[in-house]
Structure 1
Amino acid sequence: MNNSVVLAAQNITAGYGGHPAINDITVELREDEVLCLIGHNGAGKSTLLKCLFGLLASESGSVMIDGQDTTRESAREISDRGVAMVPEGRGVFPSLSVRDIFSLGMHASGVPKKEQSDRVEWVLDILPAITEFMNRPAGTLSGGQQQMVSIGRALLNRPRILLMDEPSIGLAPKLFQDLLAPIRALQQREKLSILLVEQNVREALKISDRAVVMKSGAMIWEGQPAELEDNERLMELY
C-alpha cells in the first residue's frame, strides 16, 4: 500500500457558538486505504468531517489535501480537488426522482453535460439496485435505498477521496453489509481513499485498513482493526 497522505487534519479545534466540539485533532488519510473513525455519540466525528470538507470553519489548526493547505476553502473548492462526502442522514430531496437528484448533483458540482450520462451509468454499475427506482421520488424509497442514492450522488463526481458519515444509520445489518461490499470493491479497484465514520463498529472494521477512535472531542487511539476484535479492548476505548 502506498503510504502517501492525501488528506490530513493538523491540530484542528472547532465547534459551534464558541464551544469546541473537537480539540487539537490530528489525523491522516492515506492513499488507497479505508480509515475507520469510531467513537460514541457526541465524540466530534461529524464535526471533524465538516471541517475536512469545508462545511465548518475551524478555530485553529489546518486541513491539508495532497500537502496543500485547504483550511479556508469552500466545500465546492474541496469537491473540485476530488473529495466527496456522504452526509449523515442521507439528505435526499423527498419530492425529486432519483434521476433528478443525480442531475442536480452533477449540475451543482460542474460535471460537463456531455459526461453526465456516462457518470450515471458508471454509478449504476457499482450500485445496480438503483436502476430499479431511478424514476421514483426519493421520499417513497426505503432507508437503505435512500442511502444508496446518497452514496451514488457522491460517487457521480468520480472522487478519489470519499468521506462517509454514519452510512449505517437506520439500516438493518444485512443491508449495511450489502452496501459496504460494492464500496470496498470500488475502493480497491480505483485505489480510492475512504474515511468512514461509523457506529456499526463490527461491520465497518471488516472493510477497514486502519482505525482511529475519538472520545469527547479528542483522538485517543490509532491502530489496526484486528486490535479491536477483543470486546474488552473496544469497551475500554468507549
Structure 2
Amino acid sequence: MSRLLELSGLSAAYGGVRALDGLDLHVDEGEFVVLLGPNGSGKTTTMKCVSGLLKPVAGRITFDGRDLAKVPGWKRPAIGLGHVPEGRQIFPDHTVMENLTLGAFPVRRKRAETERRREEMLELFPRLGERSTQLAGTLSGGEAQMLAVARALMGDPRLLMLDEPSLGLAPLKVIELFGYLKRLHEERGLTILLVEQQASTALRLADRGYVLDHGRVGLEGSAAELRDDPRVQAAYLGQLRESA
C-alpha cells in the first residue's frame, strides 16, 4: 500500500501549552486507522493540524507526498481531505439537502455532479432521504452525525477523518453509524482515520491503531494487537508508561 498521510515530528500548542510533542504516525492508502488515548492526549489536535484548523509549531505533514504546509486549510478538501469534526458542526438553520450541497462547495463541483453526489449520499444514508427538506437543527443526534459524515463525503475525499463520531449517541445509533463506516471502508475502499473513545468497538473495525499519550505515540500496532494489550486500557486511565 502507498503512503497517503504522514506526520513527522509534529508539534502543536495552544498558547504556551504544548498539545503535540514530536508526533510521528502514518496512514496508508485503503487503511482504517484509529487514534486512541485519554482526554488531552492530542487526538483532536492531530486532526486539526491535518485539516488546517491549527498550524503546527514544528514538524511536517504530507498528504500523497504533498507538503500540507503549502496548502491552506480551505483548499485541503479539494485535494482529498474530508474532516468530520467533534460536535458535528452542521448548519442547523439549513435543510439536510442544503447542508449536503454546502459540502460540495470547497471542491467546486458542477451542478450536475453535485446533484449526482447528493443523491448517492441519500441512497447511502436512507434516513437523510426521509429528512431531506427538514432543518438540520431538528434532527436527532444520530441523524445529525450521519449528515456530518455525508456532508464530508460530498467532496469525494481520499481520506475521511472523523473525530469522536459516537459522542452523545445511544448505543444502537453507535452500532448503526459504525456499520456505515465499515461499509465505506470495505465496499468503497475509503481510507479512514478515526478518533474514538470506544476502543473495543473501533478496534473491531480498524486495521491498525495508535494510542497517544501526552502528544506522542505511546503504543502502536495492528488492531488485534492493541485490542489484546492490557496497556490500552491503562492509556485511558492516563497511566501509560514511557516503557510501553
Give 2:204's aligned residue: 206
> How far apart, in 2, do the equivalents of 1:34 and 1:229 lie?
15
Give 1:117's aligned residue: 115
DSSP 3-state at the match of 1:61 = strand
The reply to whether residue 156 of structure 1 matches residue 160 of structure 2 is no
Residues 7-46 of structure 1: matches in 2 within 5 Å?
7-46=5-44
Give 1:181's aligned residue: 179
> How far apart, in 1, do the equivalents of 2:219 and 2:69 lie?
24
Q: Which amino acid aligns with 1:142?
A: S
Give 2:84's aligned residue: 86
TM-score (norm 1): 0.94
Give 2:242's aligned residue: none
Q: Which runs of 4+ in 1 moved over 6 A?
A: none
> How far apart, in 2, do the equivalents of 1:22 and 1:146 lie?
30
> How far apart, in 2, do the equivalents of 1:72 and 1:15 lie?
20
Is 73-82 or 101-110 further displaced after alignment?
101-110
**Shift in Å, 1:184:** 1.6
The reply to whether residue 193 of structure 1 matches residue 227 of structure 2 is no
Q: Which amino acid aligns with 2:22?
A: D
Conserved? CA contact 1:76–1:109, under 8 Å = no
**Shift in Å, 1:160:** 1.2
CA-to-aligned-CA distance 1:76-130 (integer Å, 9 cap, x gap): 2221111100010010122211111112222243122121110011112221221
DSSP 3-state at the match of 1:237 = helix
Q: Which amino acid aligns with 2:39?
A: N
Of all paired residues, the percent bearing the same amino acid is: 37
> How far apart, in 2, do the equivalents of 1:31 and 1:74 lie?
22
Conserved? CA contact 1:53–1:78, under 8 Å = yes
**Shift in Å, 1:227:** 2.1
**Shift in Å, 1:231:** 7.0
DSSP 3-state at the match of 1:27 = strand
> How far apart, in 2, do the equivalents of 1:227 and 1:138 lie?
40
> How far apart, in 1, do the equivalents of 2:229 and 2:174 lie?
21
CA-to-aligned-CA distance 1:108-162 (integer Å, 9 cap, x gap): 4312212111001111222122111111111111111100000000001111111
Residues 132-147 of structure 1: matches in 2 within 5 Å?
132-147=130-145
CA-to-aligned-CA distance 1:172-202 (integer Å, 9 cap, x gap): 2221111111222122222221100001111
Q: Which amino acid aligns with 1:71?
A: A
Conserved? CA contact 1:10–1:25, under 8 Å = yes
Q: 1:236 aligns with which of 234, 237, 240?
A: 234
TM-score (norm 2): 0.92
> How far apart, in 2, do the equivalents of 1:75 and 1:184 lie?
27
Residues 231 and 170 (structure 1), Cα distance of their counterparts in 2 relative to 1, 3 Å cut: farther
> How far apart, in 2, do the equivalents of 1:219 and 1:177 lie?
28
Q: Which amino acid aligns with 1:97?
A: T
> How far apart, in 1, do the equivalents of 2:169 and 2:200 lie?
14
Structure 2: runs of 5+ lacking an equivalent: 237-244
Aligned length, in residue pairs: 236
